Amino acid sequence: MNREIYERTRKFCAMRFGMFIHWGLYAIPARGEWVMSNEKMSVSQYKKYFDEFNPTDFDAKRWASVCRQAGMKYAVLTAKHHDGFCLFDSKLTEYKSTNTRFGRDIVREFLEAFRAEGIAVGLYFSLLDWSHPDFPKYADRHHPMRGREEYCGEQIDFDNYLNFMHGQVKELVTGYGKLDLLWFDFSYDDMAGEKWRASDLISMVRKYQPNVCIDNRLEGSGEKYGSIATASPLPYSGDFVSPEQIIPPQGIFDERGERIPWELCATLNDHWGYCESDKNYKSAALVIKKLVECVSKGGNMILNVGPDARGNFPETAVEELRKVGAWLSKNGGSIYNCGHSEIEKPEWGRYTEPLEMREDEQFRTVFAHVFEPSLGALPLFGIRADALESVRLAATGSELRRGEAWNSVLYRETPLVSFGANPVYTYALPDEVDTVLVLKIRKDTGN
């Protein structure tokens, strides 16, 4: 991995679990964040939502409290999505939250509230802007006015748009304090790389925010990694890859075979922006297991919540996130500051390991994430029986019994542990979602 990227992403990789918040005018029609494009609304048709925007229940402190209780260490808010509406007080447009009936700088309130809770903060910024007159319309496959005859042969000044877009990014990186993350979205077709004047954009961002972590979407999207996965990343390659709604089978590597930072971005239901009819929420159990999977493959998870038009998180989302937080309060040591283990994935779950270990430490720590009970004692595959010093439950610190018995004499090279008095019997797991074991392994004997 590029040394500069490694240094910038150390804190990011240690946090492992974050909250994405997609919020804007699209919460009012409540049919998802792409409603303007999906229903081919003109700017004038969409403006009615601007006139209505007045989220009287919005309380950034309440959002931050939910984030903290969920065990999320960082949060990213959509400062501007593809529709062009700004949640910050941009001096370059009238199309912003401070110009609505609500009249408040939502980005500033978000940053202040989340920082006060000790949560790292980031902003999402769309490279697209469907409200800007100089953004391509007719031939752009995502624009709400795509294919409309009145825009055939349109004359636009794309450089003017880029000046505007760069100017808004400059407002965010100079006017809102230290940012931990900057999440650009997204590149497609020929709208990628230097089409965005990406080198100039990153140079400007780094001038004011030298340590901010940036995603890879100035070059790609969930469909393309970009040059970060090559031996020679471009200046605008970003610091981490952003697979969307899918966990890579083995983690993500560059062409030299080295692991590179990545972050799964996923929704808690099926939409990023609020959708009234979408009740298909992922359970806390599923979120926990997928978070563990990400960490075991060297990645982060940023999980999205879409507030409604009044500014409230959906109740089901809050309930499930609190369950995740309860699990993390007992088992977070196996997630935060942890990553991939070289021990082969066991059939019953996953292994994770601390990202850094002191050379003078006598023991190596490995976390075993047990998703399902074994038949009889649990075999700790990939670990030598004579190397295992102790096994404890992460949630309580209680030591577990070794599970070797008369029926395991043929497998003496593999250590076993039992969740009950008789190692031959099958017992329910202490935590049916993910029982985390803390394994201490003597370093001088290998696994």
Buried b vs exposed e over 346-367: b needs ≥16 C-beta within 10 Å? bebbbbbbbbeeeeeeeebbbb
Between 360 and 236, the higher pLDDT residue: 236
Pairing mode, strands 388-393 and 435-442: antiparallel
Please tell me the predicted confidence (pLDDT) of residue 360: 66
Q: Does one domain contain both 110 and 235?
A: yes
Q: Does one domain contain both 73 and 189?
A: yes
CB 268 within 8 A of CB 24: no
Interval 86-124: pLDDT, tens? 999 999 999 999 999 999 999 999 999 999 999 999 999
Q: Does one domain contain both 247 and 293?
A: yes
CATH code for the domain in which residue 242 is found? 3.20.20.80
Instruction: Give me Rg for the CA atoms of the chain.
Output: 24
Which of 336, 370, 397 is at the close of a domain? 336
Percent of the chain having pLDDT more than 70?
99
Query: What's the one-letter identity of residue 296?
Result: S
Q: ∠ CA 110-291-30 to the nearest 5 degrees?
A: 50
**Which of the four pLDDT bands, split at 50, 70 and 90, describes residue 447?**
low
Supply 226's token pair: 């970009």
Pairing mode, strands 120-126 and 181-185: parallel
Please tell me the predicted confidence (pLDDT) of residue 5: 86
Pairing mode, strands 378-379 and 388-393: unpaired
Q: Does one domain contain both 220 and 274?
A: yes
Give the number of domains in the chain.
2
Q: Determine, yes or no, domain membership for 342.
A: no
Q: Does one domain contain both 22 and 154?
A: yes
Q: Does one domain contain both 49 and 73?
A: yes
Sheet holding 213-214, edge to edge: 213-214, 181-185, 120-126, 74-80, 17-21, 299-305, 262-267
Buried b vs exposed e over 285-316: b needs ≥16 C-beta within 10 Å? bebbbbbbbbbbbbbbbbbbbbbbbebbbbee
Q: Determine, yes or no, domain membership for 197.
A: yes
- DSSP-assigned letters across all residues of 113-156: HHHHTT-EEEEEEES--TT-TTS--TT-TTSTTTT-GGGTT---
Interval 315-340: pLDDT, tens? 999 999 999 999 999 999 999 999 99
Q: Determine, yes or no, domain membership for 105.
A: yes
Interval 377-413: pLDDT, tens? 999 999 999 999 999 999 999 999 999 999 999 999 9
Cα dist from 69 to 285, 329, 425, whole Å:
16, 9, 37
Interval 155-202: pLDDT, tens? 999 999 999 999 999 999 999 999 999 999 999 999 999 999 999 999
**What is the arithmetic mean of pLDDT over 423-440?**
98
Which of 301, 336, 371 is at the close of a domain? 336
**What is the arithmetic mean of pLDDT over 236-253?**
97
Average pLDDT of the residues of the chain? 97
Please tell me the predicted confidence (pLDDT) of residue 445: 58
**Alpha-carbon span 244 to 354, nearest angstrom:** 25
Q: Determine, yes or no, domain membership for 327.
A: yes
Cβ burial of 339 (10 Å; 0-12, 13-18, 19+) is buried
Q: Does one domain contain both 269 and 357?
A: no
Q: Does one domain contain both 106 and 78?
A: yes
Domain span holding position 130 = 3-336
Which of 336, 360, 383 is at the close of a domain? 336
**What is the arithmetic mean of pLDDT over 305-309?**
99
**Alpha-carbon span 294 to 264, nearest angstrom:** 7
**What is the arithmetic mean of pLDDT over 50-69?**
99
CA atoms within 13 A on the CB side of 445: 12
Q: Does one domain contain both 384 and 273?
A: no
Indicate whether 446 pLDDT > 60.
no
